[in-house]
Amino acid sequence: MSKPDVKKLSHSLCFRCSSIFTVNGNVDKKCPYCGYCPNPDLYNKIMNYAMSSVYYGYDYRKKYDKQITEKGEITTVHALSDSATILNFLAVAALSGIIGGISYDAVKKIFRQILNLAKNCKENIGQDKIEFYVDNDIDIFIQMIKEFHFDFEGVSPAVKSEIIKEMIIWELTDSVFSIKKNGQISKEEIFEKLKQVIERVEHTKTLSKQDFIDFWDKVKEND
């Protein structure tokens, strides 16, 4: 259990043809199906944001939404394991529409293709836990990713508060560990790190429409 990090993924998603393939031995993440080789910095930026949107905006939110619905309040704080890889890939598709301006019909087509590819994947990337059976399931997922991107717009204040606390805790933990290696940590250093962490959490939108240019341009028309 730790904050989302693309380095932990065993599989990669091609941003051009939407193929799924293993990363092992393929450090450049070159797609074995269409030959596309992504810019590593852009790939990591997009995938890390997608992973965060799923982890905090979907997985955690579902847990806390359920408590609000059933109990009227949040009584249990969760510590969730990493999100299913397939959900992270689906979030990339969702963000390509939310941020990249790709049409909703095209995004849903990519969704279905990714889901079909995952079903045929020999390794477990979470396809056994997928609950998207009808279009409405896809719509709900995309909407939750969208609400995460737009600062939890429309989300219960209690749920939003709990998720933001989770985000700050993970960011602060990583920051403290990074400076602890150099010796003792002063109170001033911790306060400074906390300010930086809050700033990062409040300004998470690092992606732009430009980042999604040419996405899915090698997807076959009949797929």
Mean pLDDT (whole number) for 37-42:
94
**In 72-203, which residue ranges form alpha helices assigned H by DSSP?**
85-98, 104-119, 135-149, 157-180, 187-202
Look at residue 166 in the predicted model and tell me its pLDDT. Answer: 82
CA 200 remoteness from chain centre: 16
Look at residue 80 in the predicted model and tell me its pLDDT. Answer: 86
Is the pLDDT confidence value at 156 over 60?
yes
Element (H, E) at 181: none
Is the pLDDT confidence value at 91 over 90?
yes
Is the pLDDT confidence value at 203 over 60?
no
Mean pLDDT (whole number) for 23-49:
92
Number of domains in the chain: 1
Q: Is residue 117 part of a domain?
A: yes
Residue 86's pLDDT band (cuts 50, 70, 90): very high
Look at residue 167 in the predicted model and tell me its pLDDT. Answer: 80
Degrees, nearest 5: CA angle 52-53-55? 60
Q: Is residue 45 part of a domain?
A: yes
Is the pLDDT confidence value at 100 over 90?
yes
Mean pLDDT (whole number) for 134-138:
82
Residue 42's pLDDT band (cuts 50, 70, 90): very high
Is the pLDDT confidence value at 37 over 60?
yes
pLDDT in tens, 164-194: 888 877 666 665 555 555 566 666 666 666 5
Comparing C-alpha atoms, which of 167, 164, 138 is closest to residue 48?
Answer: 167
Mean pLDDT (whole number) for 111-122:
88
pLDDT in tens, 2-23: 567 888 899 999 999 999 999 9
Compute the mean pLDDT over every residue in the chain, rounded to the nearest whole number: 85
Query: Domain span at residue 170?
Result: 41-212
Is the pLDDT confidence value at 1 over 50?
no
Tell me the two tokens of residue 93.
């598709």
